[in-house]
Amino acid sequence: MAIQMPRVGVTADLRVQVPRNDQGTLVDGAQSVVERVDAVDAVEDLGVTAVRPDLNTVHTDVRVDLTLAADRDADTEIDADHVAETLREGFGVQRVDVRDVRDVGPPH
């Protein structure tokens, strides 16, 4: 029997660093940064809200709807602080402002 991680839906405003030499569009690059966060199960929607280029990267503000596979103990509550900490662990994620956390149940 497979162990299923609890999943939560998240809406958040993030600032991510997108390398200038990334393939595809700025949205593709920002989505790639978010998808590389270990706990992110899926990115449902991502929109760019601001762009700040520098020499090697483009600091990109995005609003994202995603599903997070929550790694937790039975005693750990999945709240906005826990989600923000988890997302900040991703390489290239500079800022996290969690707007909504909701239970989405197990994967289908």
What are the extents of the domains in the chain? 7-103
Query: What does 29-67 look like in DSSP terms, one character per residue?
Result: HHHHHHHTSTTEEEEEEEEEEEEEE-SSEEEEEEEEEEE
**In this predicted model, what pLDDT tens digit does every residue of 97-106 receive, in sequence order?**
999 999 887 6
**In this predicted model, what pLDDT tens digit does every residue of 55-108 receive, in sequence order?**
999 999 999 999 998 765 555 678 899 999 999 999 999 999 999 999 887 666
**DSSP symbol at 82:** H
* Whole-number Å distance between alpha carbons of 97 and 7: 19
pTM of the full structure = 0.87
CATH match of 7-103 with 3.30.1360: no
